[in-house]
Amino acid sequence: MLIILTSERAIENEAELINLLFSEGLERLHLRKPEFSINGYRGLLDQIKAQYYDRIMLHEHHELLQEYSLRGIHLQEQARLDLGDALEVTLKVYENKGLKVSSSFHSKEDIVKCMGHFEYVLLSPVFGSISKAGYKGKGFDVTDLDEYVIGMGGINENTLQAACDLGFKGVGVLGGVWNSGDVIESFKIIYDKLMQVKKSLT
């Protein structure tokens, strides 16, 4: 699986680019705009084609889920920890509504210890970050984990093979797309390379 996380900042023609990414095969978009108000989120969602809503996971303003018939929510690490013993019940509530939940982790041990069951989990940083200077990778090997683990941090066409070798079932990309000169072309290069790598493993 290839996941794209939106840039935290506003991007020129962002909705148009997101629609193009979906048309080129993007499987999952994580909408993450921590500085956006709920109306800022609405403004962006209103410009994204409704046919793609079931591929979008929300990081904030979860009340928009049903308003736009989105796929589900992403619980960032602190939000998950804040739920404490209420985590499993919370996940069940979303599941009963037909919604998906994913979450962020920064260690393998925390994934193993977590009692909640997610559609998939994001583990970072695998490699040195492209979008965060000085954010060094930890080279996690997840071949021994049963969970559907997505690798994040330093993911681009040059690190895809290594990520798959480490046992990741998919990758999440942020800086490798949005910090490039050509968002769509960078995505296509990463997407095509990931398909090649996956094919070689079957």
Number of domains forming the structure of the chain: 1
User: What is the rounded CA–CA span in Å between residue 176 and residue 155?
Assistant: 6
Does residue 15 fall inside a structural domain? Answer: yes
- Whether 77 is covered by a domain: the verdict is no
Residue numbers of the domain that contains 54 = 1-70
**Residues 6 or more apart from 70 whose CB is under 8 A from it?**
53, 54, 56, 57, 58, 64
Distance CA(63)–CA(57), nearest Å, equals 12
Residues facing residue 171 across a β-bridge: 2, 151
- Asked if residue 34 is part of any domain, the answer here is yes
* Closest C-alpha among 148, 153, 144, 149 to residue 124: 153
The predicted-structure confidence for 65-88, as pLDDT tens digits, reads as follows 989 999 999 999 999 999 999 999
DSSP 103-126: EEES-HHHHHH-----SEEEE--S
Question: Given the structure tokens 């046919």, which residue do they identify?
Answer: 51
Considering the domain boundaries, does residue 42 fall inside one? yes
The pTM for the full model equals 0.93
Q: What is the reported pLDDT for 132?
A: 63
pLDDT in tens, 121-173: 999 999 986 666 666 789 999 999 999 999 999 898 899 999 999 999 999 99
Stretch 92-102: mean pLDDT:
95
Within-domain flag for 66: yes
Residue 3 lies in a domain: yes
Pairing of strands 2-5, 28-31: parallel
Residue 129 or 102, more confident: 102
Residue 54 inside a domain? The answer is yes
